[in-house]
Chains A and B, each alone.
Chain A
Amino acid sequence: MPSKPPSRRTISVDTLARVEGQGALHLTIDGDRVIDLRFEIFEPPRFFEALLRGRHASEAPDIVARICGICPVAYQMSAVHALERIFRVEIDPAVRMLRRLYYCGEWIESHALHVHMLAAPDFFGCDSIITLAEKERAAVERGLRLKKVGNAIIAVLGGRSVHPVGACLGGFTRLPRPAEMRTLHEQLARAHDDAVACVRWVAGFDLPGQSSDIEFVSLRDPVEYPLCEGRMVSSKGLDCAQEEFDDFFEEHQVPHSNALHAKLKGRGPYFLGPLARVNLNFDRLPPAVVEVARETGIAWPNANPYTSIVARGLEILYAVDEAARIIASYQPPSAAAAAVRPRAGIGRAITEAPRGSLYHAYETDDRGIIRSARIVPPTSQNQAQMEADLRQLAPALLRTTQAEATRLCETAIRNYDPCISCATHFLRLTVEPR
């Protein structure tokens, strides 16, 4: 006769494994009731918004690239779009396509890293990519090849793959050379098959089932799969301009996190990232990607957060094919960057970071000096939804071992590919005068 599960259990994961940055989880369950749940982000705040104040707008792309070693392009792109709105900069269509290519590079390297090194070990009983390599050698080699292609794109346009320096207001500091573009195109042509194989591999994982009443949110563009443009839409009818972010979303502090939580005003938590984008933009994916998505046998749109890893795989494939398409039709612009004339004003922009919508807002004076900066990264916005998912998981945690319960919680958190280091620069420090 099976032993009766304990009615009360506390699960404490002091340092979450295989997430980017440092966080912890504390969960106490009594019966079927969660009486305490804290996804703790204890990394110290980094005050990037304060660092930006007083600096010239032209310095912003290099400063914000330092926020994250995995998704610097996203920070650069949200910053330049917001600031260019203030300065009314006209971007050459060819430069716009180069930015799209640059962003594809980041999606490929970031998603390939997460799928193979952080998430996949969960599904093979492995604790790291090193032990996974012993069981799934071909897949790990493929993942490393894909990551390398993504890094190569960022290095060509950004000068280097980590903390790149090539993006600037108006465009890039230099244009790619034809030989560099040819080499990238050859690498991308080879990467297509790897990306298809990656989708098939992750779709074959024994993914847990969870149906939730989730509000998915992402950008949606009239024509393209969203990267840098579009309106913010949701699976429950939200449809707002990027500039209206503060009218519909609000941030709030919780005692246990150094990153602000966020919610949709009057509604609650929401879900950002690849699964949200695929769910809300499936009709914007090219036929070749749709065909591979259908082959997986998974219904799209899909409300199970565990299918995020498949959505991430589909976005690797999308980004590989989109990058190859952009290079094949590339005609160099007349200048690497448009002229920029500073103005006073307020600019806001959202772009789709690998982990979801990344909001930046700036105020500048007439010399282009940044007077205020606000950055709302996807991981901080996803925290409340992560906690909601963990609450739903709670009953299952009572019926298993401590080690397995920890693994289940970490797997649920990894659906969001949280980048904790990105999220932790939001602590509002109040100094009380004496």
Chain B
Amino acid sequence: MSLPRPIRIVGCGSPRGDDAAGWAVIDRLQDQLGQLTAAVSLHRAAGGHDILELLDGCGTLILIDAVSSGAAPGTIHRLEWPSPRLMTLRPGSTHDLGPAAALQLAAALDLLPARVVLYGLEAGSFRSCPILTEAMAAAVPRLVREILDEIGSLDLDERRRVR
């Protein structure tokens, strides 16, 4: 019998304003994952290099990051690799590999897990501020519920596959 391949949930961000949303989602998930049976691990990442280091042996990767697409603040976007929007996403920084570029590089090196989901949380502000904007703070628990549903169904699929 093969063991289920781990699900890694990675929140990308920084402590600045709504860019901290990815980390906030990870912190909330931390308290709520006790009842799940599959191997789920939670990680905070600062950039794409951190993501590359989490791919080894991973079955499903769920990434959460703040995004800026022009949608209403707090909007939850869900993209699944391969998606044209992920392939053409512009990097937000010249100092590091962004999450989308990290996925593109991982794909070129055949390092991507079988399933990759990116949740984008539309930011209201990237200003340096220790708290999330109201819209983002409201979006975080909604996304946590959505991710719990998603990994619950993945967990079931995985158990059926292993059986």
Contact = CB atoms under 8 A, between A and B. Distances in A.
A22 interface: yes
B149 interface: no
Interface stretch (B4-12, B90-98, B119-127, B154-162): B90-98
A137 B109 CA distance: 7
B108 A21 contact: no
Given A130-B101, A144-B52, A162-B46, A20 B94 contact: yes
B60 interface: no
Contacts of B46: 162
Nearest to B101: A130
Which interface class (under 10, 10 to 19, 20 to 34, 35 or more) fits A? 20 to 34
Interface in A21-53: 21-22
A133 B101 CA distance: 12
B95 A130 contact: no
Nearest to A20: B95
A217 interface: no
Interface string A140-158: 1100100110010000000
A83 B72 CA distance: 49
B109 A140 contact: yes
A405 B52 CA distance: 34
A117 B108 CA distance: 14
Nearest to A43: B94
Interface in B92-114: 94-97, 101, 104-105, 108-109
A128 B108 CA distance: 12
Which interface class (under 10, 10 to 19, 20 to 34, 35 or more) fits B? 10 to 19
Given A144-B52, A147-B49, A162-B46, A21 B94 contact: yes
A133 B105 contact: yes
A275 interface: no
B31 interface: no
B94 A130 contact: no
A69 interface: yes
Given A69-B96, A70-B95, A130 B104 contact: yes
Interface SS of A by simple majority: helix
Given A20-B95, A70-B95, A130 B105 contact: yes
A381 interface: no
Contact of A133 (B49, B53, B96, B108): B108
Contacts of A162: 46-47
A141 B94 contact: no
Interface string B64-108: 000000000000000000000000000000111100010011001
A19 B109 CA distance: 23
Contacts of B53: 148
Interface string A103-142: 0000000000000010000000000111101100100110
B49 to A, nearest CB: 7
Contacts of B108: 130-131, 133-134, 137, 140
A357 interface: no
B94 A19 contact: yes
Contact of B94 (A22, A133, A140, A148): A22
Nearest to B107: A130
Interface string B32-50: 0000000000000011010
B95 A133 contact: no
A69 B47 CA distance: 11
A421 interface: yes
Interface in A132-188: 133-134, 137, 140-141, 144, 147-148, 151, 162
Given A147-B49, A162-B46, A129 B105 contact: yes
B7 to A, nearest CB: 23
Contacts of A19: 94
A77 B101 CA distance: 32
B109 A21 contact: no
A415 to B, nearest CB: 18
A21 B93 CA distance: 8
Given A19-B94, A20-B94, 8 more contacts: A18-B94, A69-B96, A129-B97, A133-B105, A133-B109, A140-B109, A141-B109, A162-B47
22 contacts: A18-B94, A19-B94, A20-B95, A21-B94, A69-B95, A69-B96, A129-B97, A130-B101, A130-B104, A130-B108, A133-B105, A133-B108, A134-B108, A137-B108, A137-B109, A140-B105, A140-B108, A140-B109, A141-B109, A144-B52, A148-B53, A151-B49
Closest 10 CB pairs of A and B: A133-B108, A130-B104, A130-B105, A20-B95, A134-B108, A69-B95, A133-B109, A130-B108, A162-B46, A133-B105
